[in-house]
Amino acid sequence: MNQTPVRQGGMTFLGFALLMCLVGFFAMLIIKIGPIYLDHYKVVASLESLKSDANLATRSKQEVLLSLAKHWDIDMINSVTKDNVYITKDGSGITIQIAYDVTQPIMGNIDIVAHFDDSIEVAAR
């Protein structure tokens, strides 16, 4: 009987360790970046909720800012302030723009910067 040797297949310990490091790195990125986008979703939702206000075009800028600040306070959003909101009124309605940056440290001196810029236009009724 002449048997040929069977080669074992599989991953070495070094290959497995490198794979786990790579999976761990991407898991850490998701854990660090996920809350940034969750907060952004809440900011967009607060901005979209203003569209349902029938008297939005007649409100003052301070009233609009106060309404947004209340939404952000309820949703515990700290990355956006009133300084990031730009309100433009003209004869046809109102435009509200929110532009802000979020910096999240990853490790050591490596940071991720996310820039968000959203706006809505509401016509006068």
Distances (CA, A) of 72 to 41, 45, 77, 116, 118: 11, 10, 5, 16, 15
Distances (CA, A) of 125 to 45, 66, 80, 94: 22, 22, 29, 11
pLDDT of 8 strictly over 80: no
pTM: 0.79
41 pLDDT tier (thresholds 50, 70, 90) = very high
What is the average pLDDT score of the chain? 89
Looking at residues 91-100, what average pLDDT do you find? 88
Q: Are 93 and 57 in contact (CB under 8 A)?
A: yes
Q: Which of 18-27, 29-38, 47-56, 70-79 has the lowest mean pLDDT?
A: 47-56
Can you tell me the distance from the alpha carbon of 124 to that of 110, in angstroms, rounded to the nearest whole number? Answer: 46
> Domain locations in the chain?
13-123
Can you tell me the distance from the alpha carbon of 102 to that of 47, in angstroms, rounded to the nearest whole number? Answer: 18
